[in-house]
């Protein structure tokens, strides 16, 4: 009997569970939404059901029959992969466009506007204040709470990124002095994780699933890590007698792999959502280790370019596709709706994350900014 169309491009779930040896979630970017109970419910608790489904979602029986709506939840002990959680933060807070007036709700401070975008006095005050206070993250508080959220995983790991080394290298190589790094941080966070945690990434294989994802994504309740695994381990290039994600029916290897959400082409340039990407273990190591050098080798990649000349345009949505094209990745396009941003759901959810994780941010300091910027 021939395979169904779905099974011809995706492993059956029982086979997928046997294939996957390790799952690594690397959370990156600003810790928006993470102070909320809602974040715990829709990130760590949803993903926990990869191994430990709630009773109403547990459709795994002794014969591994999975024939109900939530059949991607749970795993038999003998097929359980290693699960590593890696939480990356910039060691010191850095200003973003929301903080400088674009949308105060997402700045993690007061929801009431305290400055308009482009306000010169407010921008100068922020620059001076950041140079003075630095705004270090409260590591003890951060690590304590995250350990509680992810205590079901095999390991919970913390990486702290410092932007100054890449700023200094940019000045040495290109003679360009950067005030701060910006949207590149979410990719440099991943790069730092791979460099600082060889005990995890050196042990990733072509059967490992590595997810680079922003903190502020609300994960749908029907997701688990098995959802991500199905997206990266596409089997549509298999031969007639072998279903595989690692080899094309022409005989050549498919790895390294990357799966993109919401892939689009703008004027001949591939773009995808910058919020979440999935790699196999080989792809994760390749993206992690040489990415910093690739970024620094061209100032347009680090600083962006003019959109008037599309070839010089580098934006967050282009970075991973451009790097992966340059390094011979196999691209898989995610077929499932991507997780959505907490801030973009029909009723936006925002929190005061800067107040919560950075002790030097206080209401009194924001009031001082409000007076200067008005």
Q: What CATH number matches the domain at 5-93+135-338, 3.90.550, 3.30.70, 3.40.50, 1.10.3470? A: 3.90.550
Q: Kind of pairing, strands 330-333 and 208-214?
A: unpaired
Q: What is the pTM of this model?
A: 0.91
8 A C-beta contact, residue 43 and residue 211: no
161-174 pLDDT per residue, tens: 988 788 888 888 87
Do the beta carbons of residue 20 and residue 206 sit within 8 Å? no
pLDDT tens digit sequence for 201-254: 999 999 999 999 999 999 988 889 999 999 999 888 887 778 889 888 888 899
357 is written with which tokens? 């994780």
Query: Between β-strands 276-280 and 208-214, what pairing exists: parallel, antiparallel or unpaired?
Result: antiparallel
On the question of pLDDT at 68 being above 60, the answer is no
Domain spans of the chain, in order of start: 5-93+135-338
Cα–Cα distance measured from residue 194 to residue 232, given in angstroms and rounded to the nearest whole number? 19
Pairing between strand 82-90 and 22-28?
parallel
Dist. CA 79–CA 204, nearest whole Å: 17
Torsion of CA 268, 272, 277, 283, to 10 degrees: 0
Residue 237 sits at the vertex; the CA angle it makes with 233 and 272, to the nearest 5 degrees, is 55
Residue 261 — pLDDT band, cuts 50, 70, 90? confident
Q: Tell me, what's the pLDDT at 71?
A: 65
Which phi and psi angles does 337 have, rounded to 5°?
Answer: -55, 130
């Amino acid at each position: 009997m021939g395979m169904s169309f779905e099974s011809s491009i995706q492993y059956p779930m029982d086979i997928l569970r046997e294939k996957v040896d390790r799952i690594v979630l690397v959370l990156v970017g600003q810790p928006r939404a993470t102070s909320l109970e809602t974040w715990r419910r829709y990130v760590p608790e949803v993903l926990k059901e990869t191994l430990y489904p709630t009773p109403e979602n547990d459709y795994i029986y002794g014969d591994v029959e999975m024939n109900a709506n939530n059949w991607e939840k749970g795993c038999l002990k003998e097929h359980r992969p290693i699960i590593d959680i890696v939480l990356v933060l910039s060691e010191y807070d850095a200003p973003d466009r929301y903080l400088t007036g674009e949308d105060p709700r997402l700045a993690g401070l007061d929801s009431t506007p305290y400055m308009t975008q482009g306000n010169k006095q407010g921008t100068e005050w922020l620059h001076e204040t950041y140079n003075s206070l630095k705004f270090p993250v409260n590591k003890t508080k951060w690590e304590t709470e995250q350990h509680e959220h992810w205590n079901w995983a095999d390991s919970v790991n913390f990486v702290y990124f410092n932007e100054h080394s890449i700023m200094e290298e940019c000045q040495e190589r290109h003679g360009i002095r950067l005030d701060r790094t910006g949207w590149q941080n979410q990719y440099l966070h991943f790069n730092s994780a791979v460099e600082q945690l060889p005990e995890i990434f050196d042990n990733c294989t072509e059967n490992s699933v590595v997810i680079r994802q922003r903190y502020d994504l609300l994960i749908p309740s029907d997701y688990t890590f098995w959802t991500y695994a199905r997206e990266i381990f596409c089997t549509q290039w298999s031969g007639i007698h072998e279903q595989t994600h690692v080899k094309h029916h022409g005989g050549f290897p498919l790895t390294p792999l990357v799966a993109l959400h919401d892939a689009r082409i703008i004027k001949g340039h591939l773009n995808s959502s910058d919020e979440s990407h999935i790699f196999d273990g080989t792809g994760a190591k390749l993206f992690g280790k040489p990415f910093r050098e690739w970024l620094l080798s061209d100032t347009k990649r680090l600083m962006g370019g003019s959109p008037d000349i599309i070839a010089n345009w580098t934006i967050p949505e282009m970075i991973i596709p451009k790097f992966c094209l340059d390094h011979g990745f196999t691209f898989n396009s995610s077929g499932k709706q991507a997780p959505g941003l907490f801030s973009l759901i029909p009723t936006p959810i925002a929190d005061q994350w800067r107040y919560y994780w950075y002790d030097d941010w206080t209401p009194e300091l924001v009031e001082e900014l409000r007076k200067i910027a008005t």
